[in-house]
Amino acid sequence: MRRRRFLGLASGVAGSVALTATGCGSGGGASRTGDVTLTMVASDHGDLEGNDLTQDYWDGVVASFEKKNPGIKVNVSVHASGKAEQKVAEMIGNGQAPDLAQIDSFADHAAAGRLYRADDVLSIPVQADFVPALSTAGELRRVRYAMPFTADIQLLFYNRGLFAEAGLDPEKPPRSWEELKQAAVALKAIGVDVPYGLPLGSEEAPTEAMTWMLGNGGGYTGDGGMYAINAPANIQAMGWLRDELVDQGLTTSNPAVTNRQGLFNLFTGGHVGMLNGDLSLTRQADRKKTDYGTAPLPGRDGLSDTTTGSAGWMLAFRREGNREAVAAFLDHVYDVENQFAFADRYHTLPVTVSASEQMRGDKRHKRMRPFLDRLGAAEFFPSNKVSWARVSREIGLYVGQSVLADGDPAAVLGTLQRTAEKEEEAAKEL
């Protein structure tokens, strides 16, 4: 099944940053030497313990930018995970949209005509430097409005110590669903609490379900970008999970109410044998000194051709007189040193080739290399759809029911497909 690749919310993106600007001048934009103040709203990407706050990073970026551009001031406010979008909406409601925002969604702002086209505010060298997998990201009706700022993907994580104890080769993680099932059976035989962690609770179900659907050649959309949630490949994937993992007692007793962070905690404590995870899990597992490995995702009949990707966005809002100042700041934000510094500090994948190459060559980031290797194969949520936010919530609430003992994947996914089609039609009227 062919699909266009789009970026979406992340299971590993923690928050957003927004810039609100007022400028002088009119028409095409203010002079870079004029007095301009930009306002930005951003997500906080600090760790779970509240250390290393993202405000510190942006304060440094702003200070170096203002030193080079004395006529432009930038005020950045950082908000906790999930709060940045609310702040942007509040500002728009008050008639004071920010100049910039680093948040997890963009389609509604693009559809409402609030955003600059990316090529209006990004220099050609910056546009050419985006990682190829992200080259068409952030588009609405084939026009790019949102610029990728962070990226992450899913890989298979497994406990090397538990593998060895179960008689499994830690150097040969499963490459297919059948091999994953057999590894889970072996892990269960030695008393591992959760042989395979399957988080299909509302928090992470859209990511986990899509990952398994992709492994069977499915996904949330099909040819032409239309919703295809109840495609035969997706129904088959959820049915396999129900019959071969859940019914066999190889997961938690009720995956429909199991969320990812709880499983991450169990994994780092040695109670989960395998699960899909993102870069945030490497950070947590390294901190707990967990003996683990990562590998490409198993697919139905061999290694999956792809993986689920997520991203955070940078948006530039149209405000009279701010375009040239916004463009100058974005050139600074996407400078290789700033891109690398953010990814290095907050454990995300760089979205530019130059920063990715710098990270690949850094011995401190050996754990990042498998993620960098698979980013080019990633498929992303259909976040170019205004309807996606609501559809994603519905998937989170209900898709887990399809893998329960009395679950009916065809019925559950059929209901979600009808909901998606209804939301898509409603979005066209906005």
- Alpha carbon distance 216, 338 (integer Å): 38
Model confidence pTM above 0.75: yes
Q: Which of 103-107, 288-292, 311-315 is least confident?
A: 103-107
pLDDT in tens, 129-160: 999 888 777 888 888 999 999 999 999 999 99
287, two tokens: 């901190």
- More confident call, 105 vs 300: 300
pLDDT at 203: 86
- Alpha carbon distance 318, 27 (integer Å): 11
Residue 11 has pLDDT above 70, yes or no: no
Hey, what domains does the chain have and what are their CATH numbers?
A: 16-152+309-380 (3.40.190.10), 155-308 (3.40.190.10)
Q: What is the mean pLDDT of residues 332-342?
A: 96
Q: State the DSSP code for 256.
A: G
pLDDT in tens, 352-407: 999 999 999 999 999 999 999 999 999 999 988 999 999 999 999 999 999 999 99
Residue 2 has pLDDT above 70, yes or no: no
Give the per-residue SS3 of 163-222: HHHCCCCCCCCCCEHHHHHHHHHHHHHCCCCEEEECCCCCCCHHHHHHHHHHCCCCCCEC
pLDDT in tens, 103-136: 988 999 999 999 999 999 999 999 999 998 887 7
51, two tokens: 């250390």
pLDDT in tens, 86-110: 999 999 999 999 999 999 889 999 9
- More confident call, 273 vs 34: 273
pLDDT at 430: 59
Going by C-alpha positions, the residue among 292, 329, 178, 197 that lies closest to residue 252 is: 197
Residue 8 has pLDDT above 80, yes or no: no
For every residue of 21-69, DSSP letters joined together read -B-S--TT---TTS-EEEEEEEE----TTS-S-HHHHHHHHHHHHHHH-
Residue 181 has pLDDT above 70, yes or no: yes
Strands 378-380 and 272-277: unpaired
pLDDT at 305: 94
